[in-house]
Amino acid sequence: MTVNLLADQYLQYLDELLPEEVRLTRFDPAKGLPDHTSSFNALLVRTVTPINAESLPDVGKLKFIGTGTAGTDHIDHGFLKREGVAFSQSEGCNANAVAEFVITGLFYWAWKTDTDLYSKKVGVVGCGNTGGSVIRLLKKLNIDYVAYDPPKAESETGFISAAEAELLKADILTFHTPLNPSGKHPTVHLADKKWLQNGFDLIINTSRGGVVNEKSMFELWQSQAIRNYILDVWEGEPDFNNQIAKHALIATPHIAGYSEEAKFKATEIVLSKLLNFFDLNVNPNARPKQFKASQFKYSSGYSIAELLWQNNQINFYDTELRKLIGLPSEKKSKGFADLRSKTALRHEYSAMLKSKEVQQNAPQEFQIFDHSATDK
């Protein structure tokens, strides 16, 4: 059987992973779904393409829709169920990339504010794939943390969530929940004035814009109850608030999960499920691009903060995003989207550590990122 697949043109590694039974057509997500979407058997999207009755008035021949992402707040699950269309996501694909982003942010903050990171307690809100990866790294670093995830505590025996009051005593909060507008544990403005007025040294949001109430956070930053914040996701992105971006310690265009390794897994996970649905398999020989040891930036004078900062692209994205501040909304949004789609991807530290040369040269502290044995 030939499967006619329509896919977002920025889903990486699709050509490498596809078997020959699939006929692939790409679409540009900036232009929305094409008119003839319903003539395909399967559709693969990213977070920038909402799937609902409005964007897809006729599902036609579509039997399977997948998103090559961890988050699914752009998907109307009820709609797909009613239409009888199977759905899958790429859970956990970028957990490692986001966790490395968060740890880099923590070290950068400690470096820039001359703070002893090891004397601080980190509150992890949402302890699924990403929050779990953050916790694994915090443990390796011997940094104190508190794990907050009431829904997980309800569904998983063996996981105990901290109480809200305990979470709010932490010095730093990092957010890793989905954006859920309803249900028993909604997360829209989960961190609002009530939480944030407790005062924090640092807020990190790499989950979704809207999990943290940006306006409340910014007001509390102005009154110095919140000392610093790092934002990768924004309320209303691809547009973003100029003042909030300007005063962020780090401001990036939703790229915490962007790495060669994560993008490979993103496509591999959802495509495997799609192909399985049609009784097919991914090409088992496909691999993500390899990190070259010569790309490793290292000097014996580097602190761990500097080493991390030099070996990822947060600095680049932050600099480029700030150039968009103050532009008309449309230009800002386009600049934000272009930065996300046109920048070469970074490699994860754990992938760098697969190189013998890096292993031998990197200082001991960097070795905590070598968790390839537990990678998915």
Ligand X SMILES: O=C(O)[C@H](O)[C@H](O)COP(=O)(O)O
Ligand Y SMILES: NC(=O)c1ccc[n+]([C@@H]2O[C@H](COP(=O)([O-])OP(=O)(O)OC[C@H]3O[C@@H](n4cnc5c(N)ncnc54)[C@H](O)[C@@H]3O)[C@@H](O)[C@H]2O)c1
Q: Catalog residues that contact ligand Y under the rule CB under 6 A.
A: 70-71, 91-92, 94-95, 98, 125-131, 148-152, 176-180, 185, 187, 190, 206-208, 232-233, 254, 256-257
Q: Which is nearer to ligand Y, 33 or 127 (CB)?
A: 127
Sheet of 86-88, strands arranged across: 22-27, 3-8, 42-45, 64-67, 86-88
Q: How far is the CB of 264 from ligand Y (least distance, A)?
A: 15
Among the listed residues 100, 235, 237, 261, the single catalytic one is 237
Residue 177: name its binding partner from ligand X, ligand Y, none (Cβ under 5 to 8 Å by kind).
Answer: ligand Y
Q: How many residues of this chain bind ligand X (CB under 6 A)?
A: 9
Measured in whole angstroms, the distance separating CA 166 from the mean position of its chain's CA atoms is 26
208 is catalytic: yes
Q: How far is the CB of 157 from ligand X (least distance, A)?
A: 27
Residue 238: name its binding partner from ligand Y, ligand X, none (Cβ under 5 to 8 Å by kind).
Answer: none
Q: Which is nearer to ligand Y, 259 or 311 (CB)?
A: 259
Q: Which is nearer to ligand X, 100 or 201 (CB)?
A: 100
Interatomic CA distance for residues 201 and 119, integer angstroms: 12
Which one of the spans 63-71, 156-164, 168-176, 304-312 is the region binding ligand X (CB under 6 A)? 63-71
Residue 185: name its binding partner from ligand Y, ligand X, none (Cβ under 5 to 8 Å by kind).
Answer: ligand Y
Q: In sequence order, what are the beta bridge partners of 7?
A: 26, 44
Q: Which one of residues 17, 27, 59, 69 is an interface residue with ligand X (CB under 6 A)? A: 69
Per residue, the 3-state secondary structure of the chain, as one string, reads: CCEEEEEECCCCCHHHHCCCCEEEEEECHHHCCCCCHHHCCEEEECCCCCECCCCCCCCCCCCEEEECCCCCCCECHHHHHHHCCEEECCCCCCHHHHHHHHHHHHHHHHHHHCCCHHHCEEEEECCCHHHHHHHHHHHHHCCEEEEECHHHHHHCCCCCCCCHHHHCCCCEEEECCCCCCCCCCCCCCCECHHHHCCCEEEEEECCCECCECHHHHHHHHHCCCEEEEEECCCCCCCCCCHHHHHCCCEECCCCCCCCHHHHHHHHHHHHHHHHHHCCCCCCCCCCCCCCCHHHCCCCCCCCHHHHHHHCCCHHHHHHHHHCCCCCCHHHHHHHHHHHHHHCCCCCCHHHHCCCHHHHHHCCHHHHHHCCHHHCC
Residue 50: name its binding partner from ligand X, ligand Y, none (Cβ under 5 to 8 Å by kind).
Answer: none
Q: How far is the CB of 257 from ligand X (least distance, A)?
A: 3
Q: Which is nearer to ligand Y, 19 or 178 (CB)?
A: 178
Asked whether position 257 contacts ligand X by CB under 6 A, the answer is yes
Residue 46: name its binding partner from ligand X, ligand Y, none (Cβ under 5 to 8 Å by kind).
Answer: ligand X
Residue 65: name its binding partner from ligand Y, ligand X, none (Cβ under 5 to 8 Å by kind).
Answer: none
Q: Which 134-193 positions form the footprint of ligand X (CB under 6 A)?
A: none
Q: How far is the CB of 152 from ligand X (least distance, A)?
A: 18
Among the listed residues 46, 176, 189, 254, the single catalytic one is 254
Q: Which 8-47 positions form the footprint of ligand X (CB under 6 A)?
A: 46-47
Asked whether position 94 contacts ligand X by CB under 6 A, the answer is yes
Residues that bind ligand X (CB under 6 A): 46-48, 69-71, 94, 257, 340
The residues that are catalytic are 208, 237, 254
